[in-house]
Amino acid sequence: MSAARSSILGLGVATFLAGSAGAQDTTKLRGLNSQNEALAWQAVGRLDHRDGYCTATLIAPDLLLTAAHCVYDASGALIPAQDLRFQAGLTHGAASAIRKISQVEAHEVYDPRAGVNAKNVRHDVALVRLAKPIPTHELAPFSVFDGALPDGPVSVVSYGRGRSDALSRQDACHVVKRREQIVTMDCDVTFGSSGSPVFTHLNGRGQIASIISSIGKRGGRKVAFGMELPQAVSLLKRQMHANRVRPKAQVRRLGVGSNKGSTGAKFVTAKGS
């Protein structure tokens, strides 16, 4: 989210992990300032609410992955689906696709009133269903990494304060610690980067290994906190399926006759009609 409402959709600040981060060979954050530069990352987009935005990523033609705190308002209430909008690959006013939202599901353990703490960071995950899928021939979703994430290089694609109208990418930052399903990274993130995908490139095309939840200090240095994803995403998919609103069945009564005003079946005799 924008800095104006950082307590809702933006990054919180955490200091609950101690220790010192060693020197890492990181790259600088760089803007993807043209559609061509952003082409490979256009399944990452901006999830907009009237009070701000977060970063979200397409993981299926109709599903977005983002942070749970991105889908709650200041009162701690879940934001209605109709009040959210997704702009895929937004670059200086042009989006690859724009979609309304039909369903929002935050992790059941996440507590929007508890603020930033270890328990919330572990469960700061949400799934958002698009009202209309984006075909895979238009945008290829990213998959969620299902392995054990090692310490080492990752990359982050995000929006953020001061760069809200175009994606930015840090080609290499690092996982510096993993503990109790919390992932600590030395990645360059800020307000609006909440929900940003953290990619591992262990198996070819980037897979989402974590998402950005909050920022904090570790050994006197700024770090970003995320979480391990596979279990949380699996639970959310089941939760989303269970809570999905099904269209009501329409019952049409069959009537006898064939007058112009009838929508019933026309019965015929053995001799024909």
**What does the radius of gyration of the chain's CA atoms come to, in whole angstroms?**
22
- pLDDT at 129 > cutoff 90: yes
State residue 219's pLDDT score.
78
Residue 83 buriedness (CB in 10 A; 0-12 / 13-18 / 19+): middle
The token pair that represents 130 in the structure block: 């698009």
The pLDDT score that the predictor gives to residue 103 is 97
pLDDT tier, 247 (very low <50, low <70, confident <90, very high otherwise) = low
Say if CB 58 and CB 89 are below 8 A apart: no
Please indicate whether residue 14 or residue 20 has the higher confidence score (pLDDT): 14
What are the extents of the domains in the chain? Answer: 3-243
**pLDDT tens digits for 16-44?**
443 333 445 667 888 887 777 778 899 99
pLDDT digits (tens, 9 = 90+) for 201-224: 886 778 999 999 998 877 778 899
Residue 198, Cβ neighbours under 10 Å: how many?
A: 29
Higher-pLDDT residue of 42 and 249 is: 42
- pLDDT tens sequence across 166-186: 899 999 999 999 999 999 999
Whole-prediction pTM: 0.82
CATH code, 3-243: 2.40.10.10
Give the span between the Cα atoms of 10 and 31, in whole angstroms. Answer: 20
